[in-house]
Structure 1
């Protein structure tokens, strides 16, 4: 008798360029020893330079995908990424509640690295009310936290603390607010803040000089989900995921992919 295989499910959009979204999530799961399943919420015509078109998957078919996966696979963790429409968000929230899923990592994807918008304005309210209360952990960057809170973007570590605390009041168990956008031109550091009801912990990291950062948010959140699927506690899963994404960014320039913002190197430990 062998131990059961850890399984993580990504619910996100497809990136035809392969650097973000479903494709990045499945690469990260595989790199970290977790079997990956997927539910596609949208198709994007995307490369390293731009998002040319988005085709939303109907909510009824998203429900079919979810229920088919859950009827057969023992999912240990769920990562949620690009959700562009309110009906998509409501459908996913309803099924996650019905299935009593735990270990839910929500990455509130709103804008692609190219600057193209990925989330409809009317979806923000649904995201706040439907999915934040279900999340084990949410992983917004500073602009995403600003949109969720309808406040100006944090410009200091103290404002990061205040935004993280405000997001925690929406109901997630923990918040990882990513500080990569904070004073990027003035500092070599890029600290993230992990906050729950009991503890506050800063996660410092050296800023890496590369333009190849497409899919970093997707990859970090899916790496955390992989850790949770393997039975790690939130803090340990975040620490391991941070070490993994740092290595993937450091190795990104070893890849020569496209002419825009290239992907991180998901398999930097093996290639």
Structure 2
């Protein structure tokens, strides 16, 4: 089966927990082919962001064009955008794509609290949101984009509806920052998928861990991969929610701050396949040839 071609437009996280690194791992684990247009290089670890170096807009566009012209694209995921100029230019290029779902995660602040977008860049999100198919803000991002106070699930829905009306995109509003709701008898996270004539609520168990760096990147890339593979939006979101929960539980416990999640789900995939092949009588030395024949 030909993998879905996912173009990721985002920043690099040197610590490997979020950004392009989390996106590539997510797309790969969910059966896609990850392509990248890196918008910024960050010096970053589990404790925060020590430095940001935006990539020139012309180079971001060149990366995009190189992938689109040769390999093609089935879905796009946008994360950290780097600058207002890049936001505007990327939006104009993406507007030329036809029938390609675009998932925009409006990254403003890292999990550690470090700022990843200045006021001018956030203002430039408007054009990106207009070309997006799905926008995936968390509570602080949604509040910033709508100017609304969000303290409960009702206010989350009202703000998501306001952003949907403003942009025309489907809004997947992530409720992880909300306090526990009075009706919950156990810790839950309430997310909302808001379309023109539909609101779907996703209530998932809250996983208490400090190793949650890159949850937003992972979720958006998972949705993009699902849509790129032809899944319905509902099925793509279902699978993305399940994947994020699984990788949170599989976090390897690295770093002294907000550590990376376990995108490989606690496995070393090649060696698991190798062990299985040896049980079937294949020799390690000819695994590659035999696997190619049976893939």
Larger Rg: 2
**Structural RMSD (CA):** 1.5
- The alpha-carbon deviation at position 267 of structure 1 amounts to 1.1
Displacement of 1:32: 0.4
Write out aligned runs for 1:36-115 (5 A). 36-100=34-98, 102-115=100-113
What TM-score do the two structures reach when normalised by structure 1?
A: 0.94
| 8 Å CA contact 2:82, 2:117 repeated in 1 | yes
Contact 1:137/1:172 (8 A) holds in 2: no
| Residues 142, 182 of structure 1: 8 Å contact kept | yes
Query: Which ranges of structure 1 fall in alignment gaps of 5 or more residues?
Result: none
> Aligned-pair distance for 1:259?
1.0
Q: Aligned equivalents of 1:71 and 1:61: distance in 2?
A: 15
Tell me the TM-score normalized by structure 2: 0.87
Query: Unpaired runs of 5+ in structure 2?
Result: 269-295
Aligned mates of 2:129, 2:92 — CA distance in 1? 13
Select which of 11, 17, 21 maps to 1:23.
21
Q: Say if 2:5 and 2:33, in contact at 8 Å, map to a contact too.
A: yes
2:206 equivalent to 1:207 = yes
- Contact 2:191 2:201 survives alignment (8 Å): yes
Moved over 4 A (4+): 184-187
Report the Cα distance in structure 2 between the residues aligned to 1:172 and 1:232, rounded to whole angstroms.
21
> Larger relative CO (CA 8 A, sep 6+): 1 or 2?
1
Deviations along 1:32-60, one digit per CA (max 9) or x if unpaired, are 01110000000000000010000000111
Q: Is the 8 A contact 2:3 2:31 kept in 1?
A: no
Size of the alignment, in residue pairs? 265
Alignment of 1:176 with 2:175, yes or no, is: no
Q: Residue 261 of structure 2 aligns with which residue?
A: 264
Q: In 2, distance between residues paired with 1:67 and 1:19?
A: 27
